[in-house]
């Protein structure tokens, strides 16, 4: 941060005032005369020094005495009159000298990935207003495609009102304007239009003439909006006050294709006008630059109608998908916009099925940083790898305190359950968390054929990834304890010589079918013997068996039959 002191302001500007850009600051102060018409008795500006006299404090000029480059009401202590342009310029330059720049700060983000309008980086959580339940969530996006031209100017306190939008907390927009770089803000969104309706708002932050919760019209009010089609062939950002709109226009976006839009407003940049600069980026295209509405101060906007999908005017509600909305407390640069476009919206956090091969435990895991709510899941195995005896319902502990879960299938080939009663919002798995369904996996080499599907609150569904952790199961470990020992031999020998044509592969394996041909025969015996000796030694197997190999028994039986036949001759 550069700290400089202006010269005496009785007549001419100092060297500081002659620096590049000071003329713009002076012009900005002339433009700000509408804000200098109301005296502020708590602040007095001395025309002979750079000292600000406060009722409770007298000392050097401090940036807190200004509003991000916009002076408060300053008066001469001697004349009780406002300073001339030179004085304003000097004070403005002082403000500029104290003004620092900050890194781009994301202050609010609405991903809709968890089936809510919660702010994933801040605390300005949105509320979805939808009295008749027409919204859904599709692929992590807020789905407003059920709209058919419903008007923004409806009584949304009426339970029968048809229409949906997101209401953000009062002050969300101006909080971003006054944080970070004062007087600068960025609104970013990923969205898809299903049907264009002129003037339907993707974003509308501000107020209407009738105030909070009204969309009766706003000719005399201040607001900022983004409209996918403002009329004619333009996708637009706009700033508005009683003087009218200033549009930043781009060709109308296509329907049924996801688009990226970024609208930056910066009242520290005078490229567009002396009131500041508005810049619109659509799908990382060339920036479109315009001014900001004359006399509009972004931080003075009475933003108690901060809406996603609804307008301050009686225009149609937005018809399409809203994938993500972000608000920054700075004006993003073209490079930052390009980087965000390349990165895309936050992917939907999806559940992963984790299988612990050491223990057989199965869990639904959330690897993302944000939570989601599961309303159903299904796990299948063609080989019969599921273990109903070890399974436990997912609805344990605080997973879903206000819902009821019902299992529709608990077999070796299918374990499925769903939220069937109570609140239908499912159970929450926080970011980085998991929820176990017990030892529902049979620990065999044939058990890695699982398929997993899920449904999240809001309707997002799909096939999930499966993650196997731990060591591969050991062949011939028929009881899944991680060892090949005499207990496995007991299982093997009890089933030796049998066929398992009616059994699934995993069930047959657990009876000693080590070569996966649905029987327990001499070939399986040789495999078991080799595995046992590898784990315990030949002497241990010799002591364990105590009987000839199955093939030897068969040869002995044939020899006995041959001897008997010879004696009969």
* CATH code for the domain of 217: 2.60.120.200
* Residue 369 and residue 325 share a domain: no
* Residue 178 and residue 36 share a domain: no
Q: What is the pLDDT of residue 231?
A: 82
Q: What is the pLDDT of residue 348?
A: 80
- Would you say residue 325 lies in a domain? yes
Tell me the DSSP string of 514-563: TTSSSB--HHHHHHHHHHHHHHH-HHHHHHHH-S--HHHHHHHHHHHHHH
* Residue 531 and residue 436 share a domain: no
* Residue 316 and residue 168 share a domain: yes
Q: What is the pLDDT of residue 33?
A: 36
Q: What is the pLDDT of residue 47?
A: 27
* Residue 79 and residue 181 share a domain: no
pLDDT category at 546 given cuts 50, 70, 90 is low
Give 525 or 372, the one with higher predicted confidence. Answer: 525
The average pLDDT across 125-136 equals 96
pLDDT of 62 strictly over 80: no
pLDDT of 320 strictly over 80: yes
Domain count, the chain: 4
The average pLDDT across 224-251 equals 95
Q: What is the pLDDT of residue 279?
A: 99
Q: How far apart are the first and last CA of the chain?
A: 118
- Would you say residue 111 lies in a domain? yes
- Would you say residue 404 lies in a domain? yes
Q: What is the pLDDT of residues 449-503, one digit of tens each?
A: 999 999 998 778 888 899 999 999 999 999 999 999 999 999 999 999 999 999 9
- Would you say residue 424 lies in a domain? yes
Instruction: Out of 91-105, 290-304, 361-375, pick the least confident.
Output: 91-105
pLDDT category at 160 given cuts 50, 70, 90 is very high
Q: What is the pLDDT of residue 223?
A: 99
pLDDT of 21 strictly over 70: no
Highest mean pLDDT among 58-72, 100-114, 294-308, 551-565: 294-308
pLDDT of 36 strictly over 60: no
How many Å apart are CA 168 and CA 279, to the nearest integer?
23
* Residue 303 and residue 199 share a domain: yes
Q: Which domain holds residue 378?
A: 352-469
* Residue 93 and residue 214 share a domain: no
The average pLDDT across 290-317 equals 98
Domain boundary among 98, 130, 151: 98
Give 115 or 413, the one with higher predicted confidence. Answer: 413
How many Å apart are CA 393 and CA 406, to the nearest integer?
9
Tokens of 474: 């050991």
Q: What is the pLDDT of residue 72?
A: 34
Tokens of 346: 């936050």
How many Å apart are CA 195 and CA 177, to the nearest integer?
32
* Residue 290 and residue 184 share a domain: yes
Domain boundary among 98, 119, 144: 98
- Would you say residue 565 lies in a domain? no
Q: What is the pLDDT of residue 394?
A: 97
pLDDT of 96 strictly over 90: no
pLDDT category at 290 given cuts 50, 70, 90 is very high
pTM for the predicted model, two decimal places = 0.63
Q: What is the crossing angle of helices 85-98 and 22-31, to 10°?
A: 120
How many Å apart are CA 12 and CA 7, to the nearest integer?
9
Q: What is the pLDDT of residue 50?
A: 34
CATH number at residue 414: 2.60.40
CB 318 within 8 A of CB 200: yes
Q: What is the pLDDT of residue 548?
A: 55
* Residue 114 and residue 78 share a domain: no
* Residue 550 and residue 409 share a domain: no
The average pLDDT across 551-566 equals 46
Q: What is the pLDDT of residue 550?
A: 60
pLDDT of 165 strictly over 70: yes
Q: What is the pLDDT of residue 26?
A: 42
pLDDT category at 544 given cuts 50, 70, 90 is confident
- Would you say residue 7 lies in a domain? no
Q: What is the pLDDT of residues 170-187, one digit of tens each?
A: 999 999 999 999 999 999
The average pLDDT across 101-107 equals 71
Q: What is the pLDDT of residue 369?
A: 77
Give 165 or 10, the one with higher predicted confidence. Answer: 165
pLDDT of 238 strictly over 60: yes
Percent of the chain whose predicted confidence (pLDDT) is above 90:
70
Q: Is 80 left (phi over 0), alpha (psi -120 to 50) or beta?
A: left
Closest CA to 374 of 416, 411, 342: 416
* Residue 166 and residue 75 share a domain: no
The average pLDDT across 435-448 equals 97
pLDDT of 42 strictly over 50: no
pLDDT of 374 strictly over 90: yes
- Would you say residue 4 lies in a domain? no
- Would you say residue 474 lies in a domain? no
* Residue 59 and residue 188 share a domain: no
The mean pLDDT of the chain is 83
Domain boundary among 98, 130, 149: 98
């Amino acid at each position: 941060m550069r700290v400089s002191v202006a010269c005496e302001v009785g007549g001419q500007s100092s060297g500081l005032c002659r620096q590049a850009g000071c003329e713009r600051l002076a012009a900005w102060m002339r433009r700000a005369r509408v804000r200098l018409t109301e005296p502020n008795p708590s602040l007095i500006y001395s025309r002979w020094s750079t000292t600000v006299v406060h009722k409770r404090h007298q000392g050097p000029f401090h940036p807190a005495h200004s509003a991000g480059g916009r002076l408060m009401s300053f008066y001469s202590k001697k004349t009780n009159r406002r300073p001339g342009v030179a004085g304003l310029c000097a004070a403005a330059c002082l403000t500029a000298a104290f003004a620092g720049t900050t890194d781009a700060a994301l202050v609010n983000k609405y991903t809709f990935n968890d089936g809510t309008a919660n702010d994933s980086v801040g605390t300005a959580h949105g509320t979805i207003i939808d009295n008749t339940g027409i919204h859904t969530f599709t692929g992590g996006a807020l789905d407003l495609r059920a709209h058919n031209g419903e008007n923004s100017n409806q009584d949304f306190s009426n339970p029968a009102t048809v229409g949906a939008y997101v209401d953000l907390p009062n002050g969300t927009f101006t909080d971003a304007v006054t944080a970070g770089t004062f007087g600068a803000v960025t609104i970013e969104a990923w969205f898809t239009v299903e049907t264009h309706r002129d003037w339907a708002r993707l974003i509308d932050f501000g107020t209407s003439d009738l105030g909070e919760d009204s969309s009766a019209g706003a000719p005399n009010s201040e607001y900022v909006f983004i409209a996918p089609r403002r009329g004619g062939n333009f996708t637009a950002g706009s700033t508005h006050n009683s003087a009218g709109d200033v549009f930043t226009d781009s060709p109308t976006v296509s329907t049924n294709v996801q688009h990226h839009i970024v609208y930056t407003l910066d009242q520290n940049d005078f490229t567009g006008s002396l009131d500041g600069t508005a810049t619109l980026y659509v799908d990382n295209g060339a920036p479109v630059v315009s001014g900001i509405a004359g006399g509009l101060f972004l931080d003075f906007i009475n933003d108690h109608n901060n809406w996603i999908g609804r307008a301050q005017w009686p225009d149609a509600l937005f018809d399409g998908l809203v994938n993500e909305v972000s608000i920054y407390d700075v004006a993003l640069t073209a490079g930052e916009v390009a980087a965000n476009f390349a990165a895309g919206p936050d992917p939907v956090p999806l559940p992963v099925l984790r299988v612990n091969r050491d223990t057989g435990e199965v869990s639904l895991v959330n690897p993302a940083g944000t939570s989601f709510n599961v309303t159903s899941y299904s796990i299948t195995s063609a080989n019969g790898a599921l273990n109903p005896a070890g399974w436990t319902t997912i609805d344990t502990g605080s997973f879903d305190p206000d819902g009821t879960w019902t299992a529709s299938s608990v077999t070796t080939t299918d374990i499925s359950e769903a939220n069937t009663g109570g609140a239908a919002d499912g159970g929450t798995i926080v970011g980085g968390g998991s929820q176990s369904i017990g030892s529902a996996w049979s620990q065999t080499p044939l058990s890695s054929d699982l398929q997993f599907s899920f449904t999240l609150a809001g309707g997002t569904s799909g096939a999930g990834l499966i993650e196997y952790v731990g060591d591969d199961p050991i062949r011939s470990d028929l009881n899944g304890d991680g060892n090949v020992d005499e207990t496995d031999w007991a299982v093997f020998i009890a089933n030796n010589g049998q066929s398992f044509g009616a059994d699934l592969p995993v069930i047959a394996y657990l009876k000693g079918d080590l070569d996966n041909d649905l029987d327990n025969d001499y070939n399986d015996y040789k495999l078991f013997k080799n595995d046992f000796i590898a784990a315990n030694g030949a002497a241990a197997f010799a002591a364990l068996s105590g009987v000839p190999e199955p093939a030897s028994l068969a040869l002995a039986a044939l020899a006995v039959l041959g001897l008997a036949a010879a004696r009969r001759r």
